[in-house]
């Protein structure tokens, strides 16, 4: 029986600094055309699409991608993904107060839900969630596709 399949009757302590976070950028199945910009000016929209395609052709995987953030703890994994993204690189994406911050929080919430679904009793205080988010900002590991 694996660790996360085992039913636990004792309350487990959630320790934010034990979380491991990963960030992946994967090719997106969503078409670039018609999904980049809706300025109301077809020429401007087309120029944006062409610029993104040129960046992809030049090898910038962040130009049009699906971004996945995972939070790992005690044999469990929670995740959050966002498609139709266009960034210059990982550094441009990874800023507090933007999608990055929301995705870390959502991955943590998914992780906690999965832990509880397996019957583990775990109490997570708001302060622990805030600490887990800060830990994510500080320790995120980028995983190449």
pLDDT digits (tens, 9 = 90+) for 25-47: 999 999 999 999 888 888 999 99
Tell me how long the chain is. 145
The predicted model scores a pTM of: 0.82
Measured CA to CA, the distance from residue 41 to residue 31 in angstroms comes to 19
Evaluate if residue 127 carries a pLDDT over 80.
no
DSSP β-bridge partners for residue 65: 27, 85
**Sign of torsion, CA 26 31 35 37?**
positive
- pLDDT tier, 61 (very low <50, low <70, confident <90, very high otherwise): very high
Query: How much is the pLDDT for 15?
Result: 81
Measured CA to CA, the distance from residue 50 to residue 38 in angstroms comes to 14
145, exposed or middle or buried, with CB in 10 Å at 0-12, 13-18, 19+? exposed
Within a 10 A sphere around the Cβ of 4, how many other Cβ atoms?
17
N-term to C-term CA, the chain: 30
Dihedral pair phi/psi, residue 134, rounded to 5°: -60, -40
Measured CA to CA, the distance from residue 75 to residue 84 in angstroms comes to 30
Query: How much is the pLDDT for 122?
Result: 79
Evaluate if residue 144 carries a pLDDT over 80.
no
Measured CA to CA, the distance from residue 69 to residue 77 in angstroms comes to 10
- Using alpha carbons, select from 104, 131, 130, 83 the residue that is nearest to residue 21: 104
Measured CA to CA, the distance from residue 32 to residue 122 in angstroms comes to 42
């Amino acid at each position: 029986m694996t660790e996360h399949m085992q039913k636990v009757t004792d309350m487990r302590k959630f320790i934010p600094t034990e979380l491991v976070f990963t960030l992946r950028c994967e090719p997106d199945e969503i078409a670039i055309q018609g999904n980049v910009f809706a300025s109301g000016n077809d020429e401007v929209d087309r120029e944006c699409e062409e610029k993104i395609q040129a960046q992809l052709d030049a090898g910038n995987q962040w130009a049009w991608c699906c971004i996945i953030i995972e939070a790992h703890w005690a044999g469990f994994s929670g995740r959050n993904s966002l498609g139709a993204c266009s960034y210059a690189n990982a550094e441009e994406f990874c800023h507090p107060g933007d999608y990055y911050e929301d995705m870390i929080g959502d991955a943590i919430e998914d992780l906690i839900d999965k832990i509880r679904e397996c019957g583990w009793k775990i109490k997570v205080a708001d302060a622990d969630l805030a600490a887990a988010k800060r830990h994510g900002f500080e320790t995120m590991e980028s995983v190449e596709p």
